[in-house]
Structure formats: structure tokens, C-alpha cells
Structure 1
Amino acid sequence: MDVFVCAGCGAELTAPVSRVALPVHTHFGAWEQLHPPLMEPATYAVEPLPFGAPWRPWNDVGEDLAARQGVYAPWYSVSFAARDRIVIAPGDSRDMVLIPEKCAGYCRGIDGRDGPNLACGGCGSAVATRMDDCGLWQAVWLEPDAVRRRPSGLPAVPTPDWDELDLESYVVPPVEPDGSWSFRWEAAVPVALAHLVAACEARPVALPDPLTDLLGDALARYLPAGPPELTARLAGPGMPAPRSGDDVLLVPRHPVTGQPWRPPHAAVVVPLDTGVWAHFAVPGETSPLPASGRVPEGVLRDDYPLPPRPWRSFLPHSTAFSSTLVRLPAIRRPALRAYRDRFAHRP
């Protein structure tokens, strides 16, 4: 495990943390809603691309410079934030204090619009940005040039193989107990759809029944129209081996490395958020067969409750799909140009 320390004075700024994959929903939250922490306790992740202030308009940047910043198709603005920023849960921060004049936000918290708003408690250097306003996952972003990573002295957490993961523990239900859709689902599903469109080169594709049955017509509006030319199937550890002729496989991302699961044969794979994938792929607990006859006197029933039903239709995050699409190098392929022109900015 590691700790991050101030590059100026060496003060420890975090609890011991282990690196995991950057969540796919990191930059996509539900507007006017307060969110839980992005990261699990004692973990950190790294954002390799610029994402956040300062921003510059696409027309002022130009296609070549935008591509170097990780944006491969026209977009409203291009980020020139630092690469390799480190994100932790707010509860894992240590010895940092807010910089009051840099704590602006929309209405319910801090959104980081003014740059780093946390200073090292030892030397006063600006080292990180706290973000917790509505529509943002609560997080502390460490500036890569302001901190250094050091061993904590605790043993490293080994990276599990696929067959060592407790996949059931990663399941994220699509519907919250109050009947609202999971914010994570609303962000993770359109991110996967953007990867699917790029992998299929904008050819019409049929999605697996579990996805279409649950999410309905909300997904169809993002996919190319027409009779399906390809078929997407769910695949991954613990599932029946995919057939070599399957067109596209929707597979989980490893929660630690972020790498997609790979089948034993060559195939086109599209990464899906592990929690969303596990909801479909991991069999849940099933009710035992009912006993015949009446329930004995004094015995309480133990029926399984019906799963919560959403009170509205599924609404993918307004920019998760298009923002992901323009950050995929494949969007520059000629086969995707017509699709890009029609859908890159579609909400």
C-alpha cells in the first residue's frame, strides 16, 4: 500500500491506499443530486487524460492539439488540466485544509472551478481539489506535480485473478430502494454503448435480451438504425464459454487493473462496468422450493420480496455517451464519420 505526501515538505496527505481501476462513471453524475464518494475507502485511482479546468473551446484548439489532449472529434471544449491526477475518497485525506477563496460551487458544495482548493497543512502549498457539489461524485483529486507516492510500510494488496474475484460482491442493483435508477447505471451504460458503437463501426447491433428487457427503448436511440448486422452477448468469468462465432462480447472490466476480460479465442470485446455486468452474470440467491401444505402454527413466512421497480423510464446520463465517444480514437475511422456527425453531440 502507498501514501501520498506533499512534494514540498513531505507531510503525509493520505491514509494508506491501494491502486484500483478508475471507475467508468467518474465524470458523470446526476444533476441537482448529492452523490456518495466515488472511491471505496483505502483505494486510489489515476486519470491518465486531462479532465477538468482549465477548458478551451474546440474551435480555438484545433483538431491536432485536441487529439493530443485525448479528444478526437469536435466537442464543446477541450480540457488542459494535468494528466495523471490521483483521486481518493474524502475520508482518506489527511493534513489538508481548505483554501476559502477557491471554494466556489454551484449550490450545494464545491465543484473545483477555481482549481486546487486544498492546501498542505504543513507548508501551505496547494495540493488537491475537493469536489462534492451536486452532480459530482464526492472526491479529492491530488495534483500529480504537488504530491509524491511513497510506500506506507503496509503489505501490498495482491491483484486477484479473475477466478479469485468475489464477483457477487461487485453487483450494483439497477434500481435504488426508493425506485430511482442507480446513478452509476445511468452513467456506466451509455459509456459502454459508446465503446460498442466504435467496436461495431456503427453497424446495427442486437443487444442481449437482459439489457433490452430492463432498459427498453432508451438504448435503441443511441445505436445505429436498421436490421441488426451483429449480435452482442454477455461473456466473462463464471459464464458459459462464448462461441468463436459470436460477433461482440460485453465483458467486465477488472476492478483493479481496469483491463477487460478476454475470452480464450480472438473476439471483439466491449468493456462493461463490473457492477452492471455482475448484475446480469452472477446468479442471485433463489428461493427454495415451497413446501406443500399449510404453514405450521407460529411459523413466520420467509417470502422473497419483489425487486424494486423504477418509477420512471431509464434515462442515460446526458453526456456520458457523447463525451466517451469523442474520446475514443476509433471515432476518426471513415466508417464512423457519418455516425459521428449525427450523434457525437446527441444528449
Structure 2
Amino acid sequence: MFACAGCGAVLTVPVSRVALPVHAGQLYGHDLLGPLMEPGTYAVNPEPFGPPWRTWDEVGAAEAQARGWYAPAHLLPGGPRGAVVIAPGDVRGTVFIPGCSAGYCCGLDGRDGPNLACERCGREVATRIDDCSYWQAVWLHPPAVHRLAGADGPPAVTSWEALPAQRPVLPPIHPDGWWNPIWAAAVAAALADLLAETDGTPVTVPDGPVADVFRRSIETLLPAGTPARTLAVAGPGLPDVTADLVLVPRHPQNGELWPAPGAVPLAYDVWRHLAFHRERRPVPGAGAMPDEARRDDPPPRQPPGPFRPDWGIFVATLARRPEVRRPWLRRLHDRVRSRPYREPF
């Protein structure tokens, strides 16, 4: 649990640490999104979070690189590192701070910093974000809270083999019929990491689910031709593969990356679908079936159009890679940043 650093009042229910979700910094659409974190979990942001906001020119290239930014960004956060994020429903003993209700149209966006105070002593302790386009979350302000150790110690990390039984399937198509925004964020981050490993050389993408979400982007952003690097999926439960680049899972609890040469990290839930999903396709049968008959009711959801990675996550991930200082990759970064909705985004 986490408590107020001023008076010691408990501010959360018991929570267990997990890896920071890849879509933590995502802005998506103009509707209300769900909670960023699963109930009973928390994650820590290693990067500076929140105000004061500073422009790239104010920070300067040298300081920005020292903070892990290797390409320009519109605004850089100057808040403390180590902000703890939890689901809004896991907060206890806080009240809203009058006058700290900045938002776009449907809620709070946290642009001005902490907007929640400790109910007992009034200390500013957290920032609630629930506006449209944002994943709903409460970010605990690091200087204002401290962690209370659990009586049983930290929970055991689930083995790779046991993960599938404990995590629900994350389908690529959202219930509203569109591509899942979490998929858009996860693939965008992996795409940026993949490009940073290629030196601008062609990459061949295997047929199947991987091609559905990666091929169009890779063929758009990288040149065609030979020789080309090969891409494959590797990880727990899969046979060994020989490829130049391999999509491997990141453990959802501790962020550990499955070790493999040429590893390109991918969020576990998305990796799991790409690694083990086998699409059911109609095959000729021995008898005849009426035209109006369907084997699936309702039928499987079909993609609404070509997959589009999240350009914001792509640019932010690329900007944190030292390789973006290479001329070809910097040009690509600047092109996507200046024209974000150009193909394939």
C-alpha cells in the first residue's frame, strides 16, 4: 500500500507491482477510455512525469540527451521520476483540490500537476487523469507518498509457462469493431525498436498474423530489395527459429525480456496472439452446406481496414533510442512527427 508522506494516512488498497504498460503515454481518439491499470496493480514510471513543462529549446540538446531524449519533442516533462500509477478505483482517502480541474472536455488531464490531496492533512499527493483520449489513471506524486511493505513480501513472479492461464486473451479487434488501441500502441513501440536495429535495410515479414500488423508499416518505412533481413516470432512455447530479428515478449509483471539474439520487444499480450493464434479458414467438406448456414454465430470480427500503429507512441519510442541520431532514422522520425497521419499511420 501507499501512504501520505505527511501524516501517514493510507491512500491505496493493497497493490502488486507490474511492468509499466506500453500504452501508458497513449492518446487515442476522442472517447472515454478505460483504466490504464488492472485492479490491484501498480507500476512505476522511470521517466520524469508531469510539470513543469519545458520546450526543447529551453532544455537544449545536451540536457535532453542526458535525460534520454535523442530527438526533439514539443514539450518535455520536468516533474520527478518514479511516479506510481494505479487504477482510479484503488485510491482511498483523497479529495479533489479546488481549482485544479484542468482538462480538455470530459474530465481531468493532469496538465497542471497534482489535483488530489490527502483527505486527512491536505497534502498534494496525486494526479487523476480521466479526460477523453486518455487512459484513466491516478499518478501518485513521488515526494508526497511512501510505500508500505506488505506483510507477505512481494508476490512471486509468474513463470512464462504459467502466464497464459492467468491472463485473458487480448484480441486485435476491439468490441466496438475497430482495431484495439492497445495493439496500436504495442506494435508502434515494437516497430520503432525494430527500425532502430535495421540500419535502414529491407526486412521480410512472414505470412500470417505478424504480416497483418507489421508488413504494411515495414514495407512503407523501409526500402524494398535484397538482401533483406528476416523477421520471426520467438519466445516461450515456440520452437527455436533462425532469423535476423525476432519479436519476443516482455514479461507483464517485471518487464523482463525473453532473451534471444536480435530481440525486438513486444507487449506480452500482443505477442501471445501473434505467436499462437491460428486463424480458422473454411475448407472444402464432403457434403454440401446451405448458403445461409454459418459455423460461427456471431461470426468472428473482421478488421475494419488496414492496421495503423499509433504514431505518437512510435515517435516517442524512437526519440528515446540513441540510433535516432543516424541521418536516415532522424529523417524518418521528423517526417512522422510533422505529418503524423501519413501512411502507414
Q: Is it true that 1:238 corresponds to 2:237 in the alignment?
A: yes
- The match for 1:106 is 104
Contact 1:326–1:344 (Cα < 8 Å) also in 2: no
How far is 1:240 from its partner? 1.2
- Where do 5+ consecutive residues of structure 2 fail to align? 341-345
Q: Distance in 2 between matches of 1:291 and 1:224?
A: 42
Contact 1:253–1:273 (Cα < 8 Å) also in 2: yes
215 and 166 in structure 1: CA distance in 2 versus 1, 3 angstrom threshold:
closer
Contact 1:128–1:140 (Cα < 8 Å) also in 2: yes
Match of 1:281 among 271, 275, 286: 275
Identity %: 46
Superimposed CA distance per residue, residues 322-344 of structure 1 (whole angstroms, 9 cap, x where no aligned partner):
11100123323xxx322212334
Q: Distance in 2 between matches of 1:342 and 1:302?
A: 45
Match of 1:251 among 245, 248, 258: 248
221 and 207 in structure 1: CA distance in 2 versus 1, 3 angstrom threshold:
closer
Contact 1:170–1:274 (Cα < 8 Å) also in 2: no
Alignment of 1:5-84 (within 5 A): 5-84=3-82
Q: Distance in 2 between matches of 1:167 and 1:225?
A: 40
Alignment of 1:145-294 (within 5 A): 145-154=143-152, 156-166=154-164, 169-211=167-209, 213-215=211-213, 218-220=216-218, 223-227=221-225, 229-243=228-242, 246-263=243-260, 267-283=261-277
69 and 166 in structure 1: CA distance in 2 versus 1, 3 angstrom threshold:
same
Describe the SS at the equivalent of 1:151: coil
Q: Distance in 1 between matches of 2:205 and 2:112?
A: 42
How far is 1:313 from its partner? 3.0
How far is 1:220 from its partner? 3.3
Question: Given the two structures, how large is their TM-score scaled by the length of structure 2?
Answer: 0.88
Q: Distance in 2 between matches of 1:54 and 1:202?
A: 36
- The match for 1:87 is 85
Q: Distance in 2 between matches of 1:202 and 1:286?
A: 35
Q: Distance in 2 between matches of 1:340 and 1:51?
A: 25
How far is 1:192 from its partner? 0.7
Contact 1:69–1:80 (Cα < 8 Å) also in 2: no
Match of 1:331 among 324, 333, 342: 324
- Where do 5+ consecutive residues of structure 1 fail to align? 296-300
Contact 2:187–2:213 (Cα < 8 Å) also in 1: no
How far is 1:111 from its partner? 0.1
Superimposed CA distance per residue, residues 159-202 of structure 1 (whole angstroms, 9 cap, x where no aligned partner):
12222322683531111233111111111111110010112233
Describe the SS at the equivalent of 2:186: helix
Compare 55-64 and 190-199 and name the one that shifted more.
55-64
How far is 1:292 from its partner? 8.0
How far is 1:152 from its partner? 3.1
65 and 238 in structure 1: CA distance in 2 versus 1, 3 angstrom threshold:
same
Match of 1:321 among 293, 307, 314: 314
Runs of 4+ in 1 over 6 A off after TM superposition: 284-287, 289-295
- The match for 1:341 is 331
Count the aligned residue pairs.
Answer: 332
